[in-house]
């Protein structure tokens, strides 16, 4: 069977760049980071490990930097729960990076 068709209109609003798994993984990590007071530390650590694999496989420099930032803050918060430092996800005043 053959079907013939005629294009009557074609339009493009912008190029499709595809889905970026690493960007989504960073967003998930950021959400987890805001739930540190609700979710056990071990569960968040396990999820961060899974998300890091995705960033490593599919991420670029921005995703690596963002994931590094979130992991550093998560590590700080973990030490704070042991009484070693103040937990904070806020960017240090002298640092620049992804927002």
Q: What is the pLDDT of residue 82?
A: 60
- DSSP E strands in 1-99: the ranges are none
pLDDT in tens, 17-53: 667 899 999 999 999 999 988 999 999 999 999 999 9
pTM: 0.64
pLDDT at 83: 57
- With beta carbons less than 8 A apart as the criterion, state whether 70 and 25 touch: no
Check whether 84 has a pLDDT greater than 90: no
Domain boundaries, the chain: 42-81
Are the C-beta atoms of 87 and 80 separated by less than 8 Å?
A: yes
With contact defined as beta carbons under 8 Å apart, do 55 and 64 qualify? yes
């Amino acid at each position: 069977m053959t079907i013939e068709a005629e294009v009557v209109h074609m339009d493009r609003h912008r190029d499709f760049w595809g889905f970026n798994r690493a960007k989504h993984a960073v967003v998930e990590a950021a959400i987890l980071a805001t739930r540190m007071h609700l979710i056990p530390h071990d569960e968040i650590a396990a999820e961060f490990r899974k998300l890091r694999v995705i960033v490593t496989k599919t991420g670029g420099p921005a995703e690596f930097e963002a994931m590094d930032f979130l992991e550093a803050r998560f590590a700080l918060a973990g030490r704070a729960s042991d009484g070693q430092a103040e937990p904070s996800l806020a960017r240090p005043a002298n640092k620049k990076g992804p927002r």
